[in-house]
Structure 1
Amino acid sequence: MALQNELSTQSLLKLCSFIFWGWTYIWCTEKTPDHSPEWHSRVVTLLHGSVATVAGLWQCSVTNIDRCRLNAKITPANYALMLWSWGYFAFDLIWCIIYWSNSYVILWHHVSALIAVGIYMNKTYSGCTFACTLALMEITNPFLQTRWLLRDSGYGQTKLYFLVELTYLIMFLSLRGPLCTYLVYKILPSDILDMDEKIISLALYAVSIVFIYEILGYVIYKYKNKIKEFKGFANEITVALVEN
Structure 2
Amino acid sequence: MNFLVWAVISWTVAFILVRKIFSKRSFNFCNRIVSTLHASLAVTLCSLTVEDWGCPVCPLASKSSPSQMKTLAVTLGYLIYDLICCLFDNHVNIDNIVHHLVSILGIGAGLVYERCGSEMIMAVWITEISSPFLHMRELLKELGYRDTNLNLAADILFAVIFTLARMVAGPHLTYVTLSADNPLLIKAMAFGLQLVSAFWFYKIARMVRFKLTKRRKSLKET
What TM-score do you get using the length of structure 2 for normalisation? 0.87
1:207 and 2:207 matched:
no
Q: Could you tell me how far apart the structure 2 residues matched to 1:66 and 1:56 are?
A: 10
Aligned match of 1:99: 89
| Cα contact 1:60–1:129 (8 A) shared by 2 | no
Q: Could you tell me how far apart the structure 2 residues matched to 1:32 and 1:225 are?
A: 32
Alignment partner of 1:121 out of 92, 111, 117: 111
* Residues 1:102 and 1:214: Cα distance change in structure 2 (over 3 Å): same
| Cα contact 1:56–1:131 (8 A) shared by 2 | yes
Q: Could you tell me how far apart the structure 2 residues matched to 1:214 and 1:192 are?
A: 33
* Residues 1:124 and 1:215: Cα distance change in structure 2 (over 3 Å): same
* Residues 1:220 and 1:158: Cα distance change in structure 2 (over 3 Å): closer
User: After superposition, what is the alpha-carbon deviation per residue over 1:186-218, rounded to whole angstroms, capped at 9, x for unaligned?
Assistant: 433x13333222111111011111111211221
Q: Could you tell me how far apart the structure 2 residues matched to 1:38 and 1:62 are?
A: 37
Q: After TM superposition, give the deviation of residue 175 of structure 1 in Å.
A: 2.3
Paired-residue identity, %: 24
1:224 and 2:213 matched:
yes
Aligned match of 1:192: 181
1:168 and 2:158 matched:
yes
CA-based RMSD: 2.2
Q: After TM superposition, give the deviation of residue 82 of structure 1 in Å.
A: 1.5
Aligned match of 1:240: none
Structure 1 gaps of 5+ residues are: 1-9, 229-244
Give 1:119's aligned amino acid.
A
Q: After TM superposition, give the deviation of residue 219 of structure 1 in Å.
A: 1.8
* Residues 1:66 and 1:150: Cα distance change in structure 2 (over 3 Å): closer
| Cα contact 2:3–2:70 (8 A) shared by 1 | no
Structure 2 gaps of 5+ residues are: 218-222
Alignment partner of 1:132 out of 104, 122, 134: 122
Runs of 4+ in 1 over 4 A off after TM superposition: 225-228
Give 2:32's aligned amino acid.
R
Aligned match of 2:144: 154
Count of residue pairs the alignment pairs up: 217
SS in 2 for 1:193: coil
Larger radius of gyration: 1
Aligned match of 1:22: 12
